[in-house]
Chains A and B, each alone.
Chain A
Amino acid sequence: MAQAFEGQPSVELVLGMGTGEPKVPLERTEFVRADQTYSILNRIVRATRVDTVVHTFLVTNSSSVTRRALHEVNVIGTLNLLAAAGAAGTSVRHVVVKSSTHVYGSSPRDPAWFDEGAHRNAPVTTQLERSLLEVESLVDDFAEDNPHVAVTVLRFANVLGSDIVTPISTDLRRRLLPAIAGYDPLVQFVEEDDVVRSLEHVTLNRIAGRFNVAGAGKLPWSEVAHLAGAHLLPLSPIAPRLTCAPLLRLARLELPAELEALARYGRGVDTSRLLQTGFSYRYTTAGTVRSFARANNLRRSVGEGPVYRYERDLEQFFRHSRAVTREGE
């Protein structure tokens, strides 16, 4: 994301914040480490007078963090972020939030396509969905209280890509995708490039509103597995996660709670609203899975690519030392 902004000359300053260190080489981005709840953000916003905050740290799969951390990061982190963006005399004019289509849930009574104003039918049963819904309601409140700030919420379908690690990508890399026997729902994916590009699109063009982001078309769950060269692992249709937990643990597969309903009933979102703003996708849903499969094949042959390690003193040297001569000066 920061790399994308760096390439845009109209963006004057890119400031990255995260709990870990950057995993990709960054040229202009000033990086600040924050704690889990991003409590330092308020001071940073005031000090730098940034005008746009892109909020991408929401956790959208519950297998990577504990329940407590999920709440801390999603709800409390968003609370801090919005507090910083909405402080008196703030310079922030645009807030972009990266959410997930998990907010629509997944139930048999769902329409084939959710549009942005659709109501969710499924009861909220998982911690993740509860926290995402809470975040969105915080964002709604923020938008109402701060009419001068453009607020964008992007709801992403399940993401696949060569680098991002999600429960589904983990399963597909192990060549075994858990499925619920007797169900073959239709699902959508979005490529990680398209995720970055859509965030960039709404940020640079300052497009406010709520948008679904998903690759065109839908794929049956079984075809996702087959396209990615994986087999299906049928689980019992009754309480699949409970009865098959040892099996999943043994095979080191992941099927977090929020994916169980998805693996039964699937989900489709209508993306026409974002397309109307002039955004165009590079990948369809099928294209996303195909490109993931290709990246996966490469990975299987040559292993992981070179890993970038962030070294603070080195970065500091290149950025600020007088000994470094810069082009164009």
Chain B
Amino acid sequence: MSTTYDATVASVTHSVPQAGDGDDAPRPTHPRQTTRSRPGAGADAPVRADAVDLASTQPAAPSSAGRPVNAGPGVTRGGTTGRTTSSASLPVPVPPTGPAAADAPRLSDVDEWGRSERVRSLARRLYDPVYRYWFRVEWEGLERIPRTGGALLVANHAGAIPPDAPVIMHGIERELGRPVYGLADSFFRTVPVVGTLWSRTGGVPAHPDNAYRLLHDRQELALVFPEGTKGPSKRYADRYRLRRFGRGGFVEIAMRAGVPVIPIAVVGAEEAMPVLFRSYHLARALRLPYFPVTANMLAFGPLLGAVTYFPAKLRLRVLEPVTFDVEPGLERYSKSRVMDEAEQVRSRLQDALHDVLRERRSVVFG
């Protein structure tokens, strides 16, 4: 585009709608325009170049402020349509735009990840007694979780409705004052009310992009269960036997974001809501990832049992962070390396589980 007349643009540039006159300025609603730029400074089409010629011949627009100066040919002397006249006679250039409405007042405090601090503090107040008196959570090695910078927390997942996610999220925020973003299966979002609450309390759909933004761009703590639904859906007979760790996606994300992976071994969640068996057909009919029949349902009845945990003591052990000696930010990493690292994390977590279990004397009292 020609920039020859940039200096005089101000005197005729007026048609860009301003933020301030948003209410009365008619807005262009044309289905289509075709434009033709001026191919250089020479006037090759005099009829079509009115605005340009006007701009070049009348550089002193401020002096003509009282008189309507008009860019277009479709206007007579002495003024015409109000908008054209008034805006053309103002020698005000279009102001450079800034973050004018950057702090438009809001009604709620829901941020762009769907978290609401108000809902979160309420949920944490309600959950705290459960954390302290029901599960009597005990941490080991909390100092291994960094106070600043991103880190990907990786834990084993168990119990029909896994209690480990809220315990880790609430526990770390309680002990260290750092929020944890829980990356959850997208199934959560499909459930009315539950999905919204999950999102408001700090849950984020597990997606590589989301994890990367949280870990790399915002340097937050993110929690992920690499077993996915395979963990909580396993039966009590398989307790504390880690399932396959997906396809090692969590390692790849940590590599890309350049953050350490911190494994956390959770003991007690298996016994809080043990799965006796699963109904494949019910799960399909209800479109659930799995439909468990739990010991809690037998003990407390199907409804109360679906939401009541056994008072198992939860012990959590934070393991040594795993850092990867790779260049961050790559699109792809060696699959074999990723699978290798994932397998190593898995076996360390499995060893730690056995270790904690070896020391445990009672399910309820630890």
Contacts and interface: CB of A to CB of B under 8 A. Distances in A.
Nearest to B206: A109
Contacts of A164: 27, 29
Contacts of B14: 7
A3 B209 contact: no
A27 B107 contact: no
Given A24-B26, A324-B76, A280 B97 contact: yes
B45 interface: yes
Given A10-B2, A283-B101, A163 B27 contact: yes
A230 interface: no
Interface in A80-129: 81, 107-113, 115, 118
Nearest to B52: A9
Given A13-B35, A17-B31, A305-B24, 10 more contacts: A16-B33, A17-B30, A52-B36, A56-B30, A112-B213, A220-B110, A282-B100, A287-B101, A318-B74, A326-B75
Interface in B39-70: 39, 45, 48-55, 57-58, 69-70
A29 B100 CA distance: 30
B148 interface: no
A64 B176 CA distance: 54
Interface of A: 1-20, 22-29, 34, 38, 44-45, 48-57, 81, 107-113, 115, 118, 161-164, 180-184, 186, 191-193, 196-197, 200, 203-206, 216-220, 222-223, 226-227, 237, 265, 268, 280-284, 286-291, 294-295, 298, 305, 308, 315, 318-320, 324-328
A232 B166 CA distance: 31
Contacts of A196: 16-17, 27-28
Contact of B75 (A27, A45, A191): A27
B114 interface: yes
Contact of A24 (B27, B77, B205): B27
Interface of B: 1-6, 8-9, 12-17, 19, 22-24, 26-39, 45, 48-55, 57-58, 69-77, 81, 83-84, 97-102, 104-108, 110, 112-114, 186-193, 195-196, 204-205, 207-210, 213
A146 to B, nearest CB: 17
30 contacts: A2-B30, A7-B71, A9-B8, A9-B13, A10-B38, A11-B38, A17-B32, A23-B29, A25-B84, A27-B73, A38-B32, A45-B34, A50-B35, A51-B36, A52-B37, A57-B31, A108-B186, A112-B213, A162-B27, A182-B191, A183-B196, A196-B17, A220-B108, A227-B106, A284-B99, A286-B101, A290-B104, A305-B24, A308-B26, A324-B76
Contacts of A108: 186-190, 195, 205
B9 A9 contact: yes
A9 B37 contact: no
Contacts of A163: 26-27, 29
A318 B74 CA distance: 4
B84 A305 contact: no
Contact of B195 (A19, A181, A183): A183
Contacts, number: 307
B108 A4 contact: no
Contacts of B102: 216, 284, 287
Contact of A111 (B22, B51, B97, B210): B210
Contacts of B13: 7-9
A70 to B, nearest CB: 14
B95 to A, nearest CB: 10
A159 B49 CA distance: 33
Nearest to A24: B26
A9 B12 contact: yes
A223 B106 contact: yes
B76 A318 contact: yes
B82 to A, nearest CB: 9
Contacts of B52: 9-10, 12
